[in-house]
Structure 1
């Protein structure tokens, strides 16, 4: 069946473009949970003032969020495979929205930290649910563009939060920002529940279940290519989120760049990523026959090199010029790895594999900020901090060399147990 002939079978109506509506739904959910996560950055100082939390202790809120987020990614993929992407996507966005609204009404640090963990737990579930839905509606050779569009959500969420939240705080206080985005998330979650329908791979899985075939979750732990891809993504996230976390402070402290200019550099970095992700996905689909491994290695290598170059810069103009190139390399690999994971496993466990992979990748965003902070504190060197960041993508490129990729044909995918393991 051609992808343009896929129908929303639960309603019996032929909808040739329905897969794009599914992609839009997954993207919108991912964007909203990314906004939910990014709201903390511009609101954190005001939350600290309101709840009498010292600046040094504000990190506990972010830590609580990421603990919930990583745990959720590790578990939610199994739920997506068991109950379908629509159910998990709805619960994820609905739960995150309710928790966001509750956080906007928090009156004590302990309660606020606990609610942040809940926000992270629900927000983390929409990733694997979105991947499950997209891979059930788009053929492997088309998934580069689809995943490129899907993963723009993280960059867009950061940009929207940093543009909107400060204005909301100025007008109505930090609580309003959480109430507004929490309410929007709840409304969209309800709308998605009645809009999204399962794709043909979910139907195929249901038929397999009826025939007595169970998803082989144990095969994930034996899948060498999946494990290597998880490690490569962890290394890539080391460089990416290490930069996102520390770039402003490093430019301000290391080269006396004013905060507004530092923020502009990071904004340009994020905006370039929004444009780069779908473009890179489309190019690899169209001109590289859907290959992911080679382009990923090239982009990770460039990412490492540009980080090294960035560490040698000293002026505002230089940082601004380098920012879009760094953004393209820093984020360009993400749609490739995201679309590679489902290709490495059997279709019945794509949700579980995607969730576990993202959980491992997120560990890079946990460890890198601590490592970079330690290096900068010990040396006071801007360049040393960026050398530390560059180690991640370089190692990721090396690890990817050992991944064996099966480039699909027009409708092919991994179908045998031997290939999936």
Structure 2
């Protein structure tokens, strides 16, 4: 075994001033670091209409079908890249993922800023999806050895809002550049400035990561903060060495708990992305005007943010790190939310608030499964690998939901289509409960065995 895994650490000891200072740097740099990934991920989505518009109207002339194909290529590459990133991050560390992934993604967006053809966008968007997948496992791995057990859930609950900040910034900055430059220089140049302007800000964030991010305290000459030898909370036995072989990585990948977490995350991302993509449309088809539908659909997101923070706090204060119990409880709440949707579906305003309940219950497991839960289940050193595997399996969900719900919505009476889509989501939420129930049973069984062995020893 290599690295510092053999050092004994008392997590009840106070952190030194230097440890506290560096931990602040780590949390700030990774928070904005993941937001930076959004700056070179989401510009395409706000430029879709210009890319699809005919050339004579100032667009790129691609058409909406071609634009949809480009984004589908991104989603597929992102899913595949998660498995690659999980191995690279576990083998060479999260710093390589963050700096390399963000740097290569910036290069792709520079190409987008000067590209004109469908083929160029398609090829480089696929490559962008591969390198974008380094973002989340890299950031989770980057904070895992800087947060102790008793505080991990609370801090990561707030820290996990980084993607919301990224979304807000790219929509505001990219949208401003797109609108302003389109008026001044034409739509064609608006797209270029939007891509290049957001890339410039991401470049500044890359330097923040370069100077402020380190994988562990020992990298800056400090004593370790977490006890890597503590395995009483771990449901998955895996190497805590700094470097692992591919065989050791496969042992982690094939442990039953990790793929089950991936199945749960498939359900979570299916449901979350379904509402991200379709909720304004659902409300509009139920009788709410388009403007109000967009406004009320945000209830889902705001309630979800609250749910993510609450889940982290209760994980530390009441569930003592038992992430699987928090997720099981909130999965049951998700089913209750969809039952409320079915009950009040005829009223668009009541429907918006019941979707808020779904958001509150859904975002908690979303952040735990790929955040604190990924750290707890196999230890700090394996967090980057677990987060990548779980997110990789989960990322199949957005691809499936877009196609399935799109087919449901086409060729049906609006009310019937919305009802059928909600019934599908209710079924997925039930599967979510089943998978979480299996995980909770499995983890409880493993912990009971560990306690019996410890008592016998």
* Fold similarity call, TM over 0.5: yes
Give the aligned partner of residue 417 of structure 1: none
Maintained 8 Å contact 1:69/1:124:
yes
Residues 60-88 of structure 1: per-residue CA shift (max 9 Å, x gap): 12112112211221111221122221222
Give the aligned partner of residue 389 of structure 2: 356
CA RMSD in angstroms, aligned pairs only: 3.0
Q: CA deviation at 1:6?
A: 5.6
Following superposition, which runs of at least 4 residues in structure 1 exceed 6 angstroms of deviation? Answer: 201-207, 212-215, 406-409
Aligned counterpart in structure 1 of residue 68 of structure 2, from 59, 67, 77: 59
Give the aligned partner of residue 111 of structure 1: 120
Taking the TM superposition and a 5 Å limit, the aligned residue runs for 1:3-402 are 14-49=18-53, 50-172=59-181, 173-199=190-216, 208=241, 216-252=248-284, 254-311=285-342, 312-338=344-370, 339-345=372-378, 347-377=380-410, 379-380=412-413, 381=416, 382-402=418-438
Q: CA deviation at 1:33?
A: 1.7
Secondary structure of residue in 1 paired with 2:269: helix
Residues 93-128 of structure 1: per-residue CA shift (max 9 Å, x gap): 222222223212211111112222222222110111
Where structure 1 has 5 or more consecutive residues not aligned to the other structure, the ranges are 8-12, 415-421
Q: Distance in 2 between matches of 1:199 and 1:345?
A: 17
Q: Distance in 2 between matches of 1:3 and 1:195?
A: 26
Inter-CA distance 164–273: structure 2 relative to 1 (3 Å threshold): farther
Q: How many residues are paired up?
A: 403
Q: Distance in 1 between matches of 2:445 and 2:151?
A: 12
Q: Distance in 2 between matches of 1:372 and 1:397?
A: 21
Q: CA deviation at 1:398?
A: 1.0
Q: CA deviation at 1:347?
A: 4.7
Q: Distance in 2 between matches of 1:90 and 1:366?
A: 27
Q: CA deviation at 1:378?
A: 5.5
Maintained 8 Å contact 2:158/2:309:
yes
Q: Distance in 2 between matches of 1:91 and 1:406?
A: 39
Maintained 8 Å contact 2:79/2:133:
yes
Inter-CA distance 301–201: structure 2 relative to 1 (3 Å threshold): farther
Q: Distance in 2 between matches of 1:233 and 1:41?
A: 23
Q: CA deviation at 1:309?
A: 2.8
Give the aligned partner of residue 419 of structure 1: none
Q: CA deviation at 1:171?
A: 0.7
Maintained 8 Å contact 1:6/1:137:
no
Where structure 2 has 5 or more consecutive residues not aligned to the other structure, the ranges are 1-8, 54-58, 182-189, 230-238, 451-457
Inter-CA distance 197–408: structure 2 relative to 1 (3 Å threshold): farther
Q: CA deviation at 1:140?
A: 3.3
Q: Distance in 1 between matches of 2:204 and 2:179?
A: 25
Maintained 8 Å contact 1:159/1:271:
no
Maintained 8 Å contact 2:304/2:359:
yes
